Structure 1
Amino acid sequence: MTFKVIITGASGVLGSAVRAAFSGAGAGTEVLSLAHSRSGDGLTKLDLLNEGEVERVFRDFKPNWVIHCAAERRPDVAEKDPEGAQKLNAGVPGHLARLAKSLKFTLLYGQAKLDGELAILGVEGAAAVILRVPVLYGPAPNNSDSAVNILVDVVQDQSGKSYKMDHYATRYPTCTVDIANFLVKLSAYKKPIPPILHYSGAEPFTKYEMCLIFAQILRLPHGHIIPDADPPTGTGATTRPRDCQLYTKETEDLGLEDGLGLSLFEEWWSEYLKK
């Protein structure tokens, strides 16, 4: 029997890794990869705000699972168009949850956006799993697509420009390839899955410490990157815990083969940057 999965946001950093993992899962898996503005190369263009068209596509494909990776993650864009961001980050997940209930598929929501989570959890009877993840890194068309990858550009900028880099908040960067492989294993899990799971890398770094690792791998000087150990203050400062580690015990307790299957940050980047 063919396992059918739809991936939204399949051209993004997380979505493209999920797409690659499921596409390589074997002949018994059929993947429909959706993107907002791109088509070709295995991508199908679909506006997720067009509820009628979304329902038509989903009914025709008849998915077993839908992995929703599409969201507006950029705060500056969300601030300029809060109504549009709300529709994408909350309205779309809510609609997908209603479709999950009526079309009998499992919805996996791969972003930690509170309004979207509440919209999904508010649809009684929908089979849905929310996977919360921290800051991500992985293969990307542009380094600017990831808050971690873009630090490589900062290290490589030897023009004389200086950068003030956060050395206050501890982050747990997580590889999108690891998440994608975990989702393939999770889709084959036969026991009940908790409605909310956490998936996170285990190694703590500040952004400045990540820059030092990239500088070491690339053998580049890093004097132009200035550590900033002060907490963010002032109007518009983003409020977040100093240590934002996610609790992953419930995820580990699922007992999936190879557990979380986490990459080591420096080891992964050493191999990736060699390419």
Structure 2
Amino acid sequence: MRKLLITGASGFLGWHLCQIAKQNWQVYGTYCSHDLEIPGINLIKLNLTDFAELKQIFQEIQPDAVIHTAARSQPNFCQTHPEESHLVNVIASCNIAGLCADYQIPCAFTSTDLVFDGLNAPYKETDAVCPVNIYGEQKVLAEIGMLERYPMTAVCRMPLMFGNATPTATSFIQPFIEILTAGKELNLFIDEFRTPASADTAAQGLLLALEKVHGIIHLGGKERISRYDFGRLLVEVFQLPETGLKGCRQQDVKMAAPRPADVSLDSSQAFILGYKPLSIKEELEAIKSIEVNT
């Protein structure tokens, strides 16, 4: 089997990607601080910001392809720790692209819909980037740097992602479910719009892009939806108490990182290639069925 190196295997997306990729690849997954075991995956502790360590991993594994999901992906953290997050989000990403260029192997990178300012959605791959926070800025720098080092890189702009909890990570729906189940109030934005996709769907998109894309591709879901309306679907599918679900506006919540209002992605290019997200309701029903059976 071909060898696939996945960075960030302990992260939410990385863990789900490992589960799907291991069906067709011999998977090597890296982690930094969250020690874990994933059946069928060769796990390696790696500090991505140490180039000598990174280079040694490439020499030892001799991967046939790389998917780089590891990141400091919390916008508020990046806003308050710009230098620390830059090392991971920009420098390490560019170094990975450089090593993939040296080995002449396919490389896919997880960027974000937050490279846009939210004023002209839905966004196509050709639209100008204009991030409003440091995390978005760092991802733009990584996109540019990686494609300069290795134009064959598949730069995958990822949407808001959700799914079943992993041993080391949750998505945003787990705390939502807990809050509503406890009868507490959950305030969700009525004026923030995204094109969400499940982690499993996003992982399938990444594997597709790894094989078929050179340059930028959008891997958003099929539907543009507000956080609040997403919450309503969650209530419906998981049969949660809806009395606690309240709508609010972005301006009502103070956060370190500014947030764009609408970064919905036009993912029609990916759909043409065979990327097939389900509807959000179908995605949530699939997640619920897994939770019921585990």
Q: Distance in 1 between matches of 2:245 and 2:57?
A: 48
Map of 2:248 onto structure 1? 228
Q: After the TM superposition, which residues 1-275 of structure 1 pair with which residues of structure 2 at under 5 Å, given as runs?
A: 2-25=1-24, 29-37=25-33, 38-41=35-38, 42=41, 43-112=43-112, 113-123=139-149, 125-141=150-166, 145-158=170-183, 161-189=184-212, 193-229=213-249, 236=256, 238-240=258-260, 242-254=261-273, 259-274=274-289, 275=292
| AA at the equivalent of 1:116 | A
Q: Distance in 2 between matches of 1:203 and 1:251?
A: 14
Identify if the C-alpha distance between structure 1 residues 53 and 176 changes in structure 2 by more than 3 Å, giving closer, same or farther.
same
Contact 2:155 2:215 in 1 (8 A): yes
User: What value does the CA root-mean-square deviation take over the aligned residues?
Assistant: 2.4
Contact 1:17 1:180 in 2 (8 A): yes
Farther-moved stretch of structure 1 (149-158 vs 102-111) = 149-158
Q: Distance in 2 between matches of 1:145 and 1:9?
A: 14
| AA at the equivalent of 1:263 | L
Q: Distance in 2 between matches of 1:183 and 1:234?
A: 33
Identity %: 21
Q: Distance in 1 between matches of 2:30 and 2:154?
A: 19
1:264 to partner: Cα distance:
2.2
1:10-31 deviations in Å (ceiling 9; x for gaps): 1111111111111012xxx321
Q: TM-score, normalised by structure 1?
A: 0.85
Contact 1:232 1:238 in 2 (8 A): no
| AA at the equivalent of 2:204 | N
1:184 to partner: Cα distance:
3.2
| AA at the equivalent of 1:32 | Y
Q: Distance in 1 between matches of 2:256 and 2:248?
A: 17
Which of structures 1 and 2 has the larger relative contact order (alpha carbons within 8 angstroms, sep 6+)?
2
1:160-188 deviations in Å (ceiling 9; x for gaps): x4232211122211111112223334444
Contact 1:179 1:199 in 2 (8 A): yes
Q: Secondary structure at the match of 1:183?
A: helix
Farther-moved stretch of structure 1 (180-189 vs 81-90) = 180-189
1:201 to partner: Cα distance:
0.6
Contact 2:221 2:267 in 1 (8 A): no
Farther-moved stretch of structure 1 (137-146 vs 264-273) = 137-146
Farther-moved stretch of structure 1 (176-185 vs 29-38) = 176-185
- Consecutive unaligned residues in structure 2, runs of 5 or more: 113-138
Q: How many residues were matched structurally?
A: 260
Q: Distance in 1 between matches of 2:57 and 2:169?
A: 31
Identify if the C-alpha distance between structure 1 residues 239 and 59 changes in structure 2 by more than 3 Å, giving closer, same or farther.
same
